[in-house]
Amino acid sequence: MNNKELNRENISQYLAVFIQKNNLTVDLVAKEIGCSTSTLQRIVGKLSYPTNKLLKQSGIMFSIGFEKFKKLTKAEKEQISEQIGAVGGGILGFGGIASAISASGVAGLSAVGITSGLASIGAIIGGGMIAGVVVSAAIPIAIGAIGYKVVKGIKTMISDNKLTTDKFDPIWEIAE
């Protein structure tokens, strides 16, 4: 898995880890994205794949965090999504997401904000901004390492709950 891109194959892992790490529920995340709970459950369970629209909305949410994402209006989410542009082959780079968010005027992604954020992360382990870069680089690796177990657990939960709805929402998902 390339840790610098979000695509139809790895989004289930990113979503599962994001939901777990932020103590969220699939219902709550689905509501904020704007899709149905069953759609998001199928995507996390790899029973369907996300459309470009869901990839973009998820990428924005991962980049700015759930609380900031929740505060965005539907129009702001669409504006950022438009700035991201076309998703080539179902792949969305996190650099493009950050650029679109920054261009859209969402606070916290200026050079000063990024620098101070990295320094704050580095301070956790007794270092400065460079340590923050190292710690930040380790995060996607850790996500990949635990992602498999999380997805497997969520797949089991979905199976246990017998998610068998056949109705796909073509706005948010593509049939397998």
Taking the C-alpha atoms of residue 35 and residue 157, their distance in angstroms, rounded to an integer, is 20
Domain assignment of residue 137, yes or no: no
Number of separate domains in the chain: 1
Domain assignment of residue 118, yes or no: no
Taking the C-alpha atoms of residue 64 and residue 116, their distance in angstroms, rounded to an integer, is 15
Least confident of 5-14, 48-57, 69-78, 82-91: 82-91
Domain assignment of residue 152, yes or no: yes
Which is nearest to 36 in space by CA: 149, 163, 161, 159? Answer: 163
Q: Identify the domain containing residue 15 by its residue range.
A: 5-106+148-175
Give the chain's radius of gyration (CA, Å). Answer: 16
What confidence score (pLDDT) does residue 165 get? 46
Domain assignment of residue 170, yes or no: yes
158: helix, strand or coil: helix
Q: Over the stretch 161-173, which tens digit does the pLDDT of each residue have?
A: 433 345 777 888 8
Name the burial class of residue 152, with classes exposed (0-12), middle (13-18) and buried (19+) by CB atoms within 10 angstroms of its CB.
exposed
Provide the token pair at 123.
């301070």
